[in-house]
């Protein structure tokens, strides 16, 4: 167990979790986070709190950001803005089907990384020469896939919140259409796709609940006994942990808690005899 806080380099940007050590920064404070390119000033988004997880693997905050650190951050922001404008201008002049998504000046390494997306393979050799001459350092162009493009630029999901990938997700888990079917979601790409055009990452979040529910609940069409009487299951309500039953007595519908519904004797015997 240890203390953890979350910081971001930009407003509504990717969250980075860190061990505050002896610091107790409040929300909005500027702190120094170690990175591969040296300490960088970041704003605290979540104040330090105790976590049941081990904190040894998280970076340790180096201290509170001072005036010099904030000035360096502002200078880096201006450098990024100039680089972004220059790279987009040169791409237009070269007539290339490229979209600049983000830039990452790395003064210590003597280079600038430019992230872009493109629907096709691009010959950017002449662009690379002009970029290097204009920006005065070595240029590295990296093409991003659809999901990574949204992660870098940020977007609003169908839920009305910032996309998961641009805020807290670190790794993408495989998402399949079967997950949408298990959750009774329509197989309509407009309804189950994210801003990147791929299946929404959040389809993974509740999927284990649906799998467990279906594994431990009488299937649709199964004859069951319920507090309202015997009947047949005609629907499931996973969020409500309940099933909808059509009663054998009068054909009316009844919603019963999952725990109160018993499967048929035949289904019970088959389940236990096959073990």
Q: How confident is the prediction along the chain (275 residues), in pLDDT tens digits per residue?
A: 688 999 998 877 788 999 998 899 999 999 999 988 788 999 999 998 888 877 778 899 999 999 999 999 899 999 999 999 999 999 999 999 999 999 999 888 889 999 999 988 888 889 999 999 998 889 999 999 888 888 888 888 888 888 888 888 878 888 999 999 888 888 888 889 988 888 999 999 999 998 888 888 888 888 888 888 888 888 888 888 888 988 888 888 888 888 888 765 445 455 555 55
Q: How many helices (H) and strands (E) does the chain have?
A: 7, 13
What tokens were used for 177?
Answer: 């259409």
pTM comes to 0.69
**Intervals of CATH 2.30.30.60 along the chain:** 217-273
Phi, psi of 204 (to 5 degrees): -80, -30
Q: Per 3-state DSSP, what percentage of the chain is helix, strand, and coil (rounded to 5)?
A: 30, 30, 40
What tokens were used for 133?
Answer: 């001459």
CATH number, domain 71-144:
3.30.300
What's the CATH fold of domain 217-273? SH3 type barrels. (2.30.30)
Distance between CA 203 and CA 186 in Å, rounded?
12
Phi, psi of 242 (to 5 degrees): -140, 165
**Intervals of CATH 3.30.300 along the chain:** 71-144
């Amino acid at each position: 167990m240890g203390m953890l806080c979350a910081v971001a380099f930009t407003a509504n940007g990717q969250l980075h979790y860190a061990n505050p050590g002896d610091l107790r920064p409040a929300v909005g404070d500027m702190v120094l986070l170690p990175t591969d390119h040296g300490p960088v000033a970041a704003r605290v988004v979540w104040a330090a709190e105790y976590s049941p997880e081990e904190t040894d693997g998280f970076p340790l905050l180096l201290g509170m950001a001072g005036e010099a650190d904030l000035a360096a951050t502002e200078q880096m922001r201006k450098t990024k803005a100039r680089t972004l404008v220059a790279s987009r201008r040169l791409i237009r002049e070269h007539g290339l089907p490229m979209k600049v998504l983000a830039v990452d000046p790395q003064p210590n390494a003597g280079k600038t990384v430019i992230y872009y997306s493109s629907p096709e393979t691009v010959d950017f050799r002449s662009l690379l020469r002009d970029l290097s001459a204009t920006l005065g350092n070595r240029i590295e162009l990296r093409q991003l896939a659809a999901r990574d493009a949204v992660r870098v630029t940020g977007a609003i999901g169908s839920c009305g919140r910032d996309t998961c990938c641009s805020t807290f997700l670190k790794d993408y888990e495989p998402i399949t259409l079967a997950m949408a079917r298990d959750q009774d979601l329509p197989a309509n790409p407009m309804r189950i796709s994210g801003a990147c055009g791929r299946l929404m990452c959040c389809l993974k979040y509740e999927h284990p609940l649906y799998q467990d529910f279906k594994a431990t609940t009488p299937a649709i069409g199964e004859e069951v006994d319920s507090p309202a009487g015997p009947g047949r299951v005609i629907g499931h309500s996973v969020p409500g942990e309940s099933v909808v039953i059509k009663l054998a007595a009068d054909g009316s519908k009844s919603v019963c808690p999952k725990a109160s519904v018993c499967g048929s004797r035949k289904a019970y015997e088959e389940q236990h005899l096959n073990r």
